[in-house]
């Protein structure tokens, strides 16, 4: 591959506190401080005037559905959608068919990643066998196969004793636990947030307490064992406050918020559109504001998409019977910018930090920086370009998005992985 010279960009690199108009140089797939005059003459030049150049975005919560659910998504299509959204590194969840609870299944996923992925993908393994919450998966063997965390995402471990033992093993093998915080006994048959809107729509409500109880449980177990527990897609104002207090005591807990929970509320469900149905459900405006405040003060550590593809025939059902989940990869950056930059008035470098350095640091991934010598994973985007999102024309195999047909502001123009352009604003290379 030729050397690369990106000119005139606003370079934002939170890891090095860099925010200035300037150039980036790539030699042999890595960031370098400069190219020689001879190298500049032969380099591929990209004029990025008016664009932001940031580290490639990092998403620690995606569902690529392979193996076993390839009618929804594959590693090939999922990584293409992620690349179009500016992501160069993602962490995929283990709730596949079969679940990634054995070294053999994780190795299969790794083999497909090596063959089909256009960006970097790191697998997770299950906490329990077949995600049934009854017995622990072989955590040490999963670690040796390359998982970067363990989680029963989608099926929160209900047994406190089993979760305690999982924490002890995770600490032993230096793995974070990612937990989907949901007390199942409080959510059976529930399809949306419990409150005024669910009463008006006649839909069974899902109380905040179902999340809050498990967040509190995890804080206690992290205190007791010393394990790092990461709370996935936090949605409740009460959960944010629990985490804030835990962090003030230096407990090893972390949390993520999704773009859709930052941007939408349960009022969006008035038309019974199943593309607004997700787990955890969209909550109230007060909850949404609490998430924004949590990101501002560091209580919530990162933004992650929970990219969850479903086919049109699965989603096109009565609201009660449609599956939870929406696409997130291609719209994450503009939606997040719309909320945090334009509404909440956060500084752009801090927002980029939430989607690059911080997630990489939390999960010890070699990503999220433009430091000299780092692999050249770069996202070029225009923070001000308006465009209409067409989910059916996207790179995912599915099209279940609440943003379909909406005008978004902020668009990825180029995604570079290891110094190679994999997305040029129109197509995957």
Please give the C-alpha separations between residue 175 and each of 154, 228, 231, in angstroms, as whole numbers: 19, 8, 14
Question: CB neighbours (10 Å) of residue 110?
Answer: 16
Q: Which of 327, 329, 355 is nearest to 341 (CA)?
A: 355
How far apart are the C-alpha atoms of 224 and 269, rounded to whole Å?
40
- Dihedral over Cα of 237, 63, 273, 131: its sign: negative
Residues 59, 153, 155, 306: which is the catalytic one?
306
In whole angstroms, give the CA distance from residue 107 to residue 92: 13
C-alpha neighbours within 13 Å on the C-beta side of residue 208: 17
151's tokens: 């989680």
Question: Does 306 participate in catalysis according to the annotation?
Answer: yes
In this structure, how many other beta carbons lie within 10 angstroms of the beta carbon of residue 159? 12
* Ordered DSSP codes for 334-385: HHHIIIIIIIS---HHHHHHHTTHHHHHHTT-S-S---TTSB--EEEEEEEE
Question: Could you give the residue numbers annotated as active site?
Answer: 306
């Amino acid at each position: 591959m030729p050397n690369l010279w990106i000119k005139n960009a606003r370079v934002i690199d939170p890891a090095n506190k860099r925010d200035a108009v300037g150039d980036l140089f790539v030699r042999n797939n890595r960031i370098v401080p400069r190219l020689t005059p001879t190298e500049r003459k032969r380099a591929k030049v990209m004029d990025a005037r008016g664009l932001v150049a940031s580290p490639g975005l990092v998403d620690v919560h995606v569902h690529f559905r392979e193996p076993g659910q390839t009618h929804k998504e594959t590693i090939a299509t999922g990584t293409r959608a992620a690349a179009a959204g500016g992501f160069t590194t993602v962490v995929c969840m283990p709730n596949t068919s079969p679940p990634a609870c054995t070294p053999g299944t994780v190795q299969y996923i790794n083999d497909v990643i090596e063959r089909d992925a256009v960006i970097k993908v790191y697998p997770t393994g299950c906490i329990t066998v077949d995600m049934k919450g009854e017995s622990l998966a072989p955590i040490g063997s999963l670690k040796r196969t390359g998982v970067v965390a363990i989680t029963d995402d989608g099926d929160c471990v209900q047994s406190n004793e089993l979760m305690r033992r999982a924490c002890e093993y995770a600490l032993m093998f230096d793995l974070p636990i990612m937990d989907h915080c949901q007390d199942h006994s409080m959510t059976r048959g529930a399809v949306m947030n419990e409150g005024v809107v669910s009463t008006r729509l006649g839909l069974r409500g899902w109380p905040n307490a179902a999340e809050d109880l498990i967040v509190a449980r995890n804080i206690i177990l992290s205190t007791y064992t010393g394990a790092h527990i990461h709370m996935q897609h936090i949605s409740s104002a009460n959960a944010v406050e629990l985490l804030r207090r835990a962090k003030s005591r230096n407990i090893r807990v972390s949390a993520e918020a999704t773009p859709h929970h930052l941007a939408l509320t349960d009022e969006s469900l008035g038309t019974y559109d199943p593309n607004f149905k997700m787990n955890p459900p969209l909550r109230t405006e007060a909850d949404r504001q609490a998430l924004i405040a949590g990101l501002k003060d560091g209580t919530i550590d990162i933004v992650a998409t929970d990219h969850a593809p479903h086919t049109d025939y699965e989603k096109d059902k009565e609201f009660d019977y449609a599956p939870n989940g929406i696409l997130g990869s291609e719209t994450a950056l503009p939606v997040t910018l719309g909320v945090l930059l334009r509404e909440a008035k956060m500084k752009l470098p801090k927002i980029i930090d939430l989607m690059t350095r911080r997630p990489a640091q939390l999960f010890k991934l070699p990503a999220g920086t433009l430091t000299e010598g780092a692999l050249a994973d770069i996202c070029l985007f225009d923070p001000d370009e308006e465009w209409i999102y067409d989910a059916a024309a996207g790179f995912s195999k599915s099209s279940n998005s609440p943003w379909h047909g909406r005008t978004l502001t902020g668009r990825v123009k180029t995604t570079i992985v290891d110094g190679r352009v994999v997305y040029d604003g129109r197509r995957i290379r």
